[in-house]
Amino acid sequence: MVSATGSVPYLEAVRLRKEFSGVDGSQVRVEVLESVSLSFEQGSFTSIVGPSGCGKSTFLQMVAGLLRPSQGEVRFRGRPVSSPHPAMIYLFQQYNRSLFAWKTVSQNIAFGLKNRPHDRRTLAQEVARAIQAVGLQGFENHYPTVLFITHDIDEAIYLAQRVVVMSRAPARVVAEFEVPMSYPRHQIASRENPIYLDLRRRVFGSIGSVFENSGS
């Protein structure tokens, strides 16, 4: 797969399919993902929404190298991912233990140190030591590449640059929406923006069509 810029995507899922065996040794196979292909550029923020149990978390685990697909593959900078990659971190959503996607590596580290009594020079030294300790030299001014799974459509639009909607299981991509709103965003003003309100209506409409097409 080649990105819109003609280069190999930073991270991509290529025709991912996943099925699990039935419980208690049953021969029945349960298909969770049908065939999902998505690419993610470095420094981008993508939210994935969809019905509960559709396979969003399964997809995330495969992208992170924690779960092998039944078919297809994940590629990081063009190379297959078959195990957890050192450039990727799998985080559960806990607001007190998360990264700020709109801050660089250095700014994320500095944020956690700002409550300590540092002058600016000492703070910079502390950040440099932390970066060296985890082997991130050269990435000080980089932004995280974020793949975010959520049930909250408002949260998905407010945080991301792109929102992907998945169908019910076995999951497939049914819609993608770009979020043409600049950062930083404001909790009230951004949510009153006509662009935000239009996207919210369209994403909710896509989710609604998922349930209508499944007969639920």
Residue 211's pLDDT is 80
Q: Strand pairing partners for 39?
A: 12
Range among 52-61, 85-94, 108-117 with highest mean pLDDT value: 52-61
Which H, E and C letters describe 35-96, residue by residue?
EEEEEECCCCEEEEECCCCCCHHHHHHHHCCCCCCCEEEEEECCEEECCCCCCCCCCCCCHH
Residue 104's pLDDT is 82
Longest dimension (CA), the chain: 64
Range among 67-76, 85-94, 98-107, 138-147 with highest mean pLDDT value: 67-76
Residue that has been written with the tokens 């944020």 in this structure:
111
Q: Hey, where are the domains in the chain? A: 11-93+145-214, 103-142
Average pLDDT score over the chain: 84
Q: Tens digit of pLDDT for each residue in 80-105? A: 998 888 777 776 655 445 667 677 88
Binned at pLDDT 50, 70 and 90, residue 146 comes out as confident
Q: What is the pTM of this model?
A: 0.73
Residue 95's pLDDT is 46
Residue 160's pLDDT is 92
The average pLDDT across 26-50 equals: 88
Residue 174's pLDDT is 93
Q: Tens digit of pLDDT for each residue in 155-186? A: 999 999 999 999 988 889 999 999 999 988 89
Residue 205's identity, in one-letter code, is G
Residue 193's pLDDT is 95
Domain covering 11-93+145-214 in this structure, CATH number: 3.40.50.300
Give me 177's structure tokens: 């929406």
